[in-house]
Amino acid sequence: MDSDLVELILTVVVFVVAPLVQRLLSRGRSADRPGAAPEPDAVEPAPATNPDEPPPAYPDDAPGAYPAGAPSPRPDRAHPAPYPAGAPTARGDVDRVPGPAPGPAATADAERFRAWDAERTALVDRLRAIEARAEHLATGARLERATYRFVDTLEEFVAARARRLAVALEGVDAAPPAEALARARELEVVLRWVEGMIDSRRTGPLRAALGDADAFAAACYEPIAEFARAEGLPLTSNAPVCVLGAFDLSIWTGFIPTGLAPIFLPRDFFDRIVRWPALAHEIAHDFYNATRGFDGALRAQLGLPPAEIGARPLAIGPQGLTVGQLRAVFGAWLEELFCDVFGALMCGEAYAWTMIEEFARPDAPGEVVAVGIDPSGRLYDEHPPRHLRVEVVARALDAAGCAQPARAVLANWNERHGGEPDGIYFPMGGGYVGLPIEPLRALAHDLADRLYGEPLDALYGFRLADVPGVDLGPHELAEMERVRDELVAGRVPHRTDARAVVAGAVLAWRAAPEREREFLSLARRAIAAEGTFEVAQDAYTLPADRLAVARPAAGSALDPREAFVLHTVLSPPPAGRHVGLAPWRRGSVLARRGW
């Protein structure tokens, strides 16, 4: 046979007959499988020369590479996800079986991530709602004189912090930390209370009453706040805000980071003038806690331990107690005694009479000489025995030159309780152990003397008595007595400092207790309520008798311009009115300090 013919036959067999036979055999095998679909008539030959070799694996074959139902990036390969097992595929020639289902661990991780994401999203939405509400309240508060003071707290504390926290959480792929939840709750607490303070100042009678209390509290805070600005003390709160409700008289020191100092007033506060001087004590609490480093510097100078150390119960050994052990107890009481000294300087003997009215227990004299226990039941209370507090205030009054009122205060106090006590009683072993009062009185007097007259490192070397406006001098005492006389005479006191008005009203109450409501009404008319357009009576006029004295005699050479210059030169300079407050850096602890 011709070689060319043989070559032609072999070519036909290899390239035509063999592939045809292979295709027929493959179709027969596919038909034998149950559920197999018939192959289309025209199919492109596979690129592999060996039909038994599996096709190459492409990235789109990997389970989960593409979402279920999404088209495959390779048009010649169908994604298996949309087709159930055993159903014909898009090509119809291959029965694709889905990959294995995710294991329990993968499913749990996915569920956990979804829960985290839902919790984070809910917290972000909560913070955004806080921010929006704070900005809405700030917009309204800015339009009213009585509520303008709350704008900075709403915008710079509540809204700004909520915004920053929400932005930080949006980039977290995990559950929000517990601290973020705590911060959100704190912001909600602040927002709720500030909203209540704003609402209470939008009703006429209550706005005027709270404005009078705010004005007195501000008059007590202003001298020490201006001193702090002038000397650079890191004071971070100086905006007292009174809140009326079912509270004991106390201050919320946890609000210090907000710049506000909420003072809680009992419901009968506006019925009794004798309660008002206690606001000075609460103002001192805010200053003590809002001035960074004040507590530590004061304790270091006075040689007193931290409050939690001083509050530990005394342990009496075989040799008894040392003076050092007794002195350490005053570490637990330092803040309260400092506030009492400050109150005495703000209101003079009126503060002492307020203490007696509030603290006296003629029917239970043992209560005023007993050391209290804190709520934990393990430590001494932060409030000293009431008798020691009266002793400290009387000592401060004596140091300020009020010796006769100081003696009168102590005599009245001892008379109410059956004479001078001989001991102070400490809880010990389920009962009380009495310790002689003399060493404790000596320690209390020493502390009062040092707080009043010693240059304090916590005040950058100034004495408390040297702070302008804090010292109780002859001018302040004369103003208090003048207000007392005008009130007893039934007149509204001539325009003067709110501190002198309140203190003078308490002195008038001492002279005529049955006229207390009258004195309170007249005193409030002399105070220009904070956040209102009130002006003090006689703010721009003088009574006729004073006007006659004020006019220069005929032919006098006194020039009003010279008088103005002389007054300006001789007046004490205000302590730095334009020095800003240092920013707050500490965290918030929602704590309250009681009277």
With H, G, I as helix, E, B as strand and everything else as coil, classify residue 563.
helix
Confidence (pLDDT) at 178: 87
Q: Are residues 309 and 175 in the same domain?
A: no
Average pLDDT over residues 229-258: 90
Answer with the residue of higher pLDDT: 74 or 248: 248
Q: Are residues 468 and 326 in the same domain?
A: yes
The percent of residues in the chain predicted with pLDDT above 70, rounded, is 72
Confidence (pLDDT) at 84: 46
- Residue 437 pLDDT > 50: yes
Confidence (pLDDT) at 583: 33
CA–CA separation, 12 and 454 (whole Å):
121
Confidence (pLDDT) at 181: 92
> Per-residue confidence at 102, pLDDT binned at 50, 70, 90?
low
Q: Are residues 309 and 436 in the same domain?
A: yes
> Alpha helices of 232-322 — where are they, by DSSP H?
278-290, 294-302, 307-310
Confidence (pLDDT) at 429: 83
CA angle 536, 465, 483 (to 5 degrees): 30
Confidence (pLDDT) at 104: 64
Q: Are residues 194 and 305 in the same domain?
A: no
Answer with the residue of higher pLDDT: 31 or 524: 524
Query: Is 264 inside any structural domain?
Result: no
Query: Is 503 inside any structural domain?
Result: no
pTM: 0.73
CA–CA separation, 466 and 461 (whole Å):
10
Confidence (pLDDT) at 538: 59
Confidence (pLDDT) at 251: 92
Q: Are residues 331 and 465 in the same domain?
A: yes
CA–CA separation, 136 and 133 (whole Å):
5
CA–CA separation, 343 and 333 (whole Å):
16
Query: Is 400 inside any structural domain?
Result: yes
Of 436, 418, 443, 293, the residue nearest 360 (C-alpha):
418
Confidence (pLDDT) at 100: 57
Confidence (pLDDT) at 407: 97
Average pLDDT over residues 568-572: 64
- Say if CB 400 and CB 345 are below 8 A apart: yes
Q: Are residues 308 and 454 in the same domain?
A: yes
- Torsion angles phi and psi, residue 265, rounded to 5: -110, 140
CA angle 335, 340, 343 (to 5 degrees): 125
Of 165, 199, 186, the residue nearest 255 (C-alpha):
186
Query: Is 335 inside any structural domain?
Result: yes
Report DSSP letters for 90-155, one per residue: SSSS------PPPPHHHHHHHHHHHHHHHHHHHHHHHHHHHHHHHHHHHHHHTT-TTTGGGHHIII
Confidence (pLDDT) at 394: 98
* Exposure string over 323-358, b if 16+ CB within 10 A, otherwise e: eeebbbbbbbbbbbbbbbbbbbbbbbbbbbbbbbbe
Q: Are residues 194 and 311 in the same domain?
A: no
Residue 61 has which token pair?
Answer: 């074959």
Confidence (pLDDT) at 78: 41
Query: Is 173 inside any structural domain?
Result: yes
Confidence (pLDDT) at 55: 44
User: Containing domain of residue 393, as a range?
Assistant: 299-472
pLDDT tens digit sequence for 503-529: 999 999 999 999 999 999 999 999 988
The percent of residues in the chain predicted with pLDDT above 90, rounded, is 60
Answer with the residue of higher pLDDT: 567 or 429: 429
Number of domains in the chain: 2
- Residue 40 pLDDT > 50: no
Q: Which residues pair with 235 in a beta bridge?
A: 291
- Residue 56 pLDDT > 90: no
Q: Are residues 462 and 351 in the same domain?
A: yes
Residue 218 CA to its chain's centroid (Å)? 19
Q: Looking at 151, 173, 200, which one is the last position of a domain?
A: 200
Query: Is 347 inside any structural domain?
Result: yes
pLDDT tens digit sequence for 81-101: 444 444 444 444 444 445 555
> Per-residue confidence at 555, pLDDT binned at 50, 70, 90?
low
Residue 80 has which token pair?
Answer: 């298996």
pLDDT tens digit sequence for 353-400: 999 999 999 999 999 999 999 999 999 999 999 999 999 999 999 999
Query: Is 20 inside any structural domain?
Result: no
Residues 6+ apart with CB under 8 A from 559: none
Q: Looking at 144, 166, 200, which one is the last position of a domain?
A: 200
> Per-residue confidence at 553, pLDDT binned at 50, 70, 90?
low
Confidence (pLDDT) at 65: 40
Least confident range of 336-340, 350-354, 390-394, 497-501 = 497-501
Q: Are residues 303 and 440 in the same domain?
A: yes
Q: What is the mean pLDDT of the chain?
A: 81
DSSP 14: I
Q: Which residues pair with 425 in a beta bridge?
A: 370, 434
Query: Is 156 inside any structural domain?
Result: yes
Of 275, 213, 193, the residue nearest 532 (C-alpha):
213
Q: Looking at 200, 232, 249, which one is the last position of a domain?
A: 200
The tally of CA atoms less than 13 A away on the side-chain side of residue 499 is 29
CA–CA separation, 526 and 506 (whole Å):
14
